[in-house]
Structure formats: C-alpha cells, structure tokens
Amino acid sequence: MSPDGKASQSGSAAVEAQRVTKIFGGGDDQVVALDDVSVQIGENEFFTLLGPSGCGKTTLLRLIAGFEHPTDGRILLGGEDISPLPPFQRPVNTVFQNYALFPHMTVGGNIGFGLEMLNKSKQEVDDAVTEMLRLVRMEELRNRRTSQLSGGQQQRVALARALAPKPRVLLLDEPLSALDLKLRKEMQIELKRLQNETGITFVFVTHDQEEALTMSDRIAVMKEGAILQIGAPRDIYDHPSDRFVAHFIGETNFLEAELLERKNGAAKVKFPSGAVLPASLPDAPISPGKVSVVVRPEHSRIATTKKDAVLSGTLENVVYFGTDTHFHFRLNDGAQFIVRMQNARDSGDDFTPGQELGIAVEADAVQVLRD
C-alpha cells in the first residue's frame, strides 16, 4: 500500500476499505469492478476518487453507502466493521449524481426527510431545515417543488438534504458534472466552504482532474478497479508514480533515461545526451537500468547556456496562451517534448519554429515511474 499521510498514522480512519474486491455478475460476463482496494480516509478530510469512466469509483461509494456488498474484504467506519448494516443504519449520506430529489416533496420536505426518518421531533426537523437552507443560501425556496428548481439549486438541495442528518461521512458521486462551467466553479468553492463549516468527511468522486486538484486534501487515482496512487494534489501532480497517473493528471513529457546506481541515498538518472540529473523515485522498489521518467512542461525551460541544456531538439510549434507559451519540441531521439514558460513583459518571439535549441530542466523535476 502507498504511504498515505495523516490517515494511516491516526488510530481510526473515518472510513477504511480493507482489501475490498467487488465482482458483478458471474460466469463469462463477470465484471471485476474493484480489485483488492485498500484505502484509509481520515476524519474531516476532503478525499477524492479520481479516474476515468468505469474504473469503479461509483462502486466504491456504493459499497461505503451500503447499496452493494463487497465480494471480499471489509468496509470500516470509525474503526468498526459496517458490513452487516443496511444503508438506512449507516451514518453515511450520499449526494447522488442526478441529485435524486423526491419529486413529491417540497425543498423543505426533502431536506428534512432524513431527520424525520431518524424520528426527530417536528421542531428539531424544522430548525435543522432552516439551518441547512441558510447554509446553502436558499431560505426563500423552502416551499418550492423540487421540479421548479434550476440545476444549481437542485444541487444545493441535494447537498443540504445529505448534510442535514449530520452524517459522519458524506459521499458525493460526481455532484458537479451536470452543471455548466461557471456554476461548477461556484459550487466547487461552495463545497469546500461547506466541508470546512461542517467538519464532515467528504468522499468525492470525479473524473475531472482539475476539479480533483483544486478541491481535495488527498486524491486516490483509480484505474480498472485498482487504486494506483494516493496522495496530496501536489504529490500526485509533481511526483506521479505511474505512467497512467502522470498521463491522466495534467500535461506531461515522457522520456527514456537510465537510473544510475545509488550513492548515499539520492537517486540520479542519466539522459541519452549524457546529462545526469537528480530524480525522485516512486514508492515501489525499482532497480537501476532503463527507466521511464516524466518532466512537467512548466518544470522545464529553453536553455540559455550550453551548460544548462539537458536535452536538445528542434522547435516545431509555438502556442501562445496569454499567461504562458507552449513550445513543442521534437527531440533528437524522435520523442515529443513540451516546454511551458510564463510570458514576461518583454519576452518577444525570440524563438521561431525550425530552430535547434537546448532544453533545461529544473532541479527536482524528474520523476521516475514504476513500470
């Protein structure tokens, strides 16, 4: 298992999946939706499951919520095995992807539903609904039918409904995917605020890497039913341990290099050009020899001196992006390489396609991938 920061150190995680496997169907058309997944999610953490469609994100959420049962493994909540509990006995609430608001109830009726089912008094339910409506800033719409709400408003009601019973864990299955870009940005901020104010653990599912990077405390990157890497957004972005993770998150350059024998701790890689640079290693054991490494485009620049140049190639294309410029290179060994540099005031178009140029790479920017 990957080292995953604070959760593994603190005694009991808010939610924990222990070697969970989920297989749907049987015989020839069985689908392994989750394959031996282990993860610990800490109290009060904003934890994101990130991965492409069909990688098992929803399945993991549904296992935590209790709508599905693991084929193998256990789900723990606050250190206790909740496997035998049906969904209505788990202190976990879900914000469904399509919101799933009750069409036959008002906004207030929807938000109060959970507390009502917990047999709270009418007064308590009313007060909680009022508080929730204030929290999501929808006080005026209490008696509206849910069918008369806009997408963003429905989204807020769904959030308020799931938060009202003060669950230990809130599960959110791509809650923002149905919103347009502007609303989505607003709701991202809103969600962060709600999580801070309520102190509830959020398990958030998305396939949008930017959303994951901006919102999460930690991210688990998933692929085909397995978790490839868990870490803080910065870790995942700067030090992807896997080709898939590097590819899925942000733009990146893949290079071939040679991992040298380690001398007193620090790893070094040697590029075909002969340049040797320090490199970060993935958490998996890796032996010296041919390796793949990644360098983020913004961690490289066009070399000004011969000494700086780690790589060299032909400039093929220059794309201006306002705040920065992308330089597309064809390296001498045929690989593609993109350099991203911020546009300074005075930087002109000093570089023109066709030029032979050297590329410099920042210190600590080379990440070795496990293979």
Partner 1 sequence: MSTSVPETGATAAQSAERRAVRTRWLLVSPAVVIIGCVGILPLSIILLYSLLEPAEYAGVVWTFSPEAWMGLVLERDIFDDTLGLSSAHLTIYTRSILQALFTTVLTLIFGFPTAYFIATRPAKERNIWLFLVTIPFWTNLLIRTFAIMLIVRDEGLVNHALINIGLIEKPLAILYTDVAVAIGLVYAYLPFMVLPLYASMEKLDFRLVEAGYDLYANRRRVLRRVIVPLVKPGVIAGCILVFIPSIGAYVTPRLLGGGKNMMLGNLIANQFGTSRNWPLGSAMALALMGLVMIALVIYVRNVTAAGQKSHG
Contact footprint for partner 1 (CB under 8 A):
65-67, 86-89, 92-94, 96, 98, 100-104, 113-114, 117-118, 145, 147-148, 161-162, 165
Looking at beta carbons, which residue is closest to Mg ion? 58
Shortest spacing between CB 68 and ligand ATP, in angstroms: 7
> Which of ligand ATP, Mg ion, partner 1, none does 161 bind, CB closer than 5 to 8 A by kind?
partner 1
| Smallest distance from Mg ion to CB 205, Å | 6
Pair 299, 318: CB distance under 8 Å: no
Residues 45-84 that bind Mg ion (CB under 5 A): 58
Partner in contact with 33, chosen from Mg ion, partner 1, ligand ATP, none, beta carbon below 5 to 8 Å by kind? ligand ATP
56 scored as a contact of ligand ATP (CB under 6 A):
yes
Strand 367-368, strand 356-361: pairing: unpaired
- 110 belongs to the binding site for Mg ion (CB under 5 A): no
CA angle (24, 241, 298) in 5-degree steps: 125
State the minimum distance, in angstroms, from the CB of residue 97 to partner 1: 9
Taking CB within 5 to 8 Å according to partner kind, which of Mg ion, partner 1, ligand ATP, none is near residue 369? none
> How many CA atoms within 13 Å lie on the side-chain side of 13?
23
Q: Tell me whether residue 88 or residue 306 sits nearer to partner 1 (CB atom).
A: 88
- Cβ proximity to ligand ATP: between 24 and 321 the closer is 24
Please say which residue, 85 or 357, places its beta carbon nearer to partner 1: 85
Q: What is the per-residue binding string for ligand ATP in 277-316, x denoting contact by CB under 6 A?
A: ----------------------------------------
| 91 vs 176: CA distance, rounded Å | 23
Q: How far is the CB of 133 from ligand ATP (least distance, A)?
A: 30
Whole-Å CA distances, 370 to 12, 28, 144, 244, 354: 30, 32, 54, 10, 34
In the complex with ligand ATP, the residue whose CB is nearer, 223 or 340, is 223
Task: Choose which of 2, 40, 48, 59 interacts with ligand ATP (CB under 6 A).
Answer: 59
Q: How wide is the angle at C-alpha 342 spanned by C-alphas 337 and 346, nearest 5°?
A: 125
Residues with Cβ within 8 Å of residue 219, at least 6 apart in sequence: 47, 48, 49, 50, 212, 213, 230, 231, 232, 233, 236
Among 1, 31, 284, 319, binds ligand ATP (CB under 6 A): 31
Order of strands, sheet of 300-302, starting from the edge strand that comes earlier in the sequence: 300-302, 356-361, 311-320, 324-331, 336-342
How far is residue 172's CA from residue 113's CA, in Å, rounded to a whole number? 18
- Cα(365)–Cα(338) distance, integer angstroms: 14
Residues of this chain, 199-218, that bind ligand ATP according to CB under 6 A: 207
58 contributes a contact to ligand ATP by CB under 6 A: yes
Q: Which is nearer to ligand ATP, 218 or 239 (CB)?
A: 218
The distance of closest approach from Cβ of residue 49 to Mg ion in the complex, given in angstroms and rounded to an integer, is 9
Residue 41: its H or E element:
strand 31-41
Contact partner, 86, from partner 1, ligand ATP, Mg ion, none, Cβ < 5-8 Å per class: partner 1
Here the tokens at position 278 are 């320090």
Among 5, 36, 38, 54, binds ligand ATP (CB under 6 A): 54
Rounded Cα distance, 12 and 211, in Å: 28
Please report the beta strands in 63-217, taking only residues with DSSP state E, as ranges in sequence order: 72-77, 80-81, 92-95, 169-173, 201-206
Strands 15-24 and 31-41: antiparallel
- How many other CB atoms sit within 10 Å of the CB of residue 144? 15
| Residue in the shown chain whose Cβ atom is closest to ligand ATP | 58
Please report, as ranges, the residues that interact with Mg ion according to CB under 5 A. Answer: 58
Please report, as ranges, the residues that interact with ligand ATP according to CB under 6 A. Answer: 24-25, 31, 33, 51, 53-59, 207
